[in-house]
Amino acid sequence: MQKTALTRQHLFMLIAPFFWALGHPLGRIILKSVHPLQLGSVTLCIGFLGLLLFLVVSGKIRQIRKLEKKDFLFSLGLGVFGFFLYQILTFSALARIPASMNAVLVSTNVVFIALLAAVLLGERLSFPKLIGIFTALAGVVLVTFNRGFSVEGFSLIGCGLSILAALSFSIYSVLGKKLLVRGDPLIIAASALLSGSVLLAILTASTVGFRGTFESPPLTLLMVLLGLTMIAVAYPLWFACLKKLPVSHISIYIYLTPVFAVLLSLALLKESFAWIFWIGFVLVLAGIMMTNMIKPGKK
């Protein structure tokens, strides 16, 4: 029974980065006509409404009564880091540096997660686990720069914003782990989504506005799809796994996001990639296996 549950959790950890990666090729199509802030705001709002509908239909919405007021407020605070700030920092970085470079820098959130989990949660950060993390990171570099290394458009400010985005997601994950000890993962994810989507909607409305966002029905359907998969499904799955396993143990799966993103771009956008991509792909999988072979423990 325990083995079946563990297998299910690892499946969830594969689904979440796949749905996150789906936002890259589909987002590229949508952003030809929609502003990044508009896309981010719409997907967050759709994601929240989709998750809220599931909670109401399934009856799990009643679990919110078991969440203490301080935990509910803490959940809202998580949304500031995991959704609101993360979106702003990532978009700001993409305005200054190439998307491939941003993908590598954002992937450093795994390193931040492992370090923060060791400091704040007391999770053991062994040398073999560190080797696995940096092996996977090397694979991400090869995957995202599979056409060659370039510093075109390089910006120290852009790189700094990208790293801050990685740190923001790391804080969201590690603090979320502490909260999940006492709360239901779906309720916590919904609360975080609520604050993140409201704040981003207010920012979007006060800056670029929403005019023209829904003029194209096909693009509207794509935004709804992204909101439901990338937000309403992926983040609750991530939180569900955080509740059962050490955060540094599962965070390595984030490295699969850029790998899936490149594969999806190949299928949906007919992009081609150099042979070095496949070396990076193997390194990412090797890093995941090395990290998960290490039995998690406490200091």
pLDDT at 249: 65
pLDDT at 299: 40
Q: What is residue 254's predicted lDDT score, i.e. its pLDDT?
A: 72
pLDDT at 277 over 70: yes
Q: Which of 40-44, 121-125, 257-261 has the lowest mean pLDDT?
A: 121-125
pLDDT at 221 over 90: yes
> Are the C-beta atoms of 82 and 172 separated by less than 8 Å?
yes
- The answer on pLDDT for 1 being more than 60 is no
pLDDT digit string (tens) for 60-119?
888 888 888 888 888 899 899 988 998 888 877 766 776 666 777 787 787 788 788 888
Res. 196: pLDDT tops 80: yes
How high is the mean pLDDT of the chain?
80
